[in-house]
Amino acid sequence: MDVRSDRDQKEVHTSFPLVWKYKGEYYMCPPSGKRVELYKARSFPNNWKHVGNAIDVEYYSHDPTFIRYQNRWWLFTERDNRDVMIYHSRDLESEGWTPHKANPVVTDRLSAGRQGGRPICSGDRLFLYFQDSVENYGDRIRCYEVTDLSPSTYNDREMPTSPLLHEFGDGWAGDGMHTFDPWWLGPGKGWRCAVDGVREQHSVEDLFTIGIVDLPAHSSSAQPSTSTLPEGVE
């Protein structure tokens, strides 16, 4: 696929390009170093225009994630793979989002500091996915529920089923898994999740592979809240 934007090629990697739809428009946020840049599709999925910078900070902001929750946009990012940083805005396309008053809201948590996938809401419950990098970068994915979120307060707790993803076998995911991207398919259909696995090659660059997993919704509580998810994720 030939993907074009109105920005110059960057010196940083632009993997983990979070894509979502809101009010009929497609948006994308690829990692872009110390700035978190927002793009809107001119012609989805091939042509994008830069519409603003949510933040421009002194540290590298890897794998930023966005979600609309309680009538506000929230941006979750990290510092040094171990500190959780939050910014918020009423307007998705506004410049210079407001930093959370308690930033960093989590400190020195290498097991769950760097974002690892698309946040989701189930009912009124907000869930975040983090990379566990204690032993190696992107070893596994941990799931946390946000139990308190406001412009000045934050708290979360790890779910009992965490880690959600981890290395297994000696094949495509033998050395780690560090992305979890769930999509709601509809009532009775459950979730479809994009995941990845890594296999260390030693003599060449590590090999990352994409996998797709379907997960059932066992109860109505497992369904996302359509009032809190961006349009197109429902």
Give pLDDT tens digits for 194-208. Answer: 888 877 765 556 677
- 135 vs 69: which has the higher pLDDT: 69
What pLDDT, on a 0 to 100 scale, did the predictor assign at position 234?
Answer: 32
Other CB atoms within 10 Å distance of the CB of residue 12: 13
Q: What are residue 52's DSSP bridge partners?
A: 38
pLDDT at 123: 79
- What single-letter DSSP state applies at residue 97? P
Measured CA to CA, the distance from residue 140 to residue 132 in angstroms comes to 5
**Is the confidence at residue 7, as pLDDT, over 80?**
no
| Rounded Cα distance, 36 and 53, in Å | 6
Q: Which of the two residues, 130 and 230, has the higher pLDDT score?
A: 130
Between 45-49, 84-88, 134-138, 190-194, the lowest mean confidence (pLDDT) is in 134-138
Listed range (35-39, 42-46, 89-93, 180-184) with the worst mean pLDDT: 180-184
Statement: residue 86 has pLDDT above 60: yes
Stretch 41-64: mean pLDDT = 91
The pTM for the full model equals 0.84
The residue with greater pLDDT, 160 or 233, is 160
Q: Which of 120, 114, 116 is nearest to 182 (CA)?
A: 120
Predicted pLDDT at 102: 98
Tell me what pLDDT residue 228 has.
Answer: 37
Q: Are 177 and 196 in contact (CB under 8 A)?
A: yes
Torsion of CA 38, 115, 4, 90, to 10 degrees: -20
Whether residue 107 contacts residue 82, with contact meaning beta carbons closer than 8 Å, is answered with: yes
Where do the structural domains in the chain lie, given as residue ranges? Answer: 4-220
**Fold of the domain spanning 4-220:** Tachylectin-2; Chain A (2.115.10)
- 91 in Cβ contact with 39 (< 8 Å): no
Instruction: Provide, rounded to the nearest whole percent, the portion of the chain with pLDDT above 70.
Output: 82
The tokens describing 95, both together, are: 């410049």
For residue 233, is pLDDT > 60? no
- Asked if pLDDT for residue 219 goes beyond 80, the answer is no
Amino acid in position 112: A
Q: Where are the beta strands (DSSP E) in 80-152?
A: 83-89, 98-99, 114-115, 120-122, 125-132, 140-149
Quote the DSSP letter at residue 230. Answer: P
3-state secondary structure of 44: coil
The DSSP element (H or E) to which 69 belongs, if any, is: strand 65-69
pLDDT interval class at 1 (50, 70, 90): very low
Question: What is the structure's pLDDT at 65?
Answer: 93
Share in percent of the chain as helix, strand, coil (round to 5): 0, 50, 50
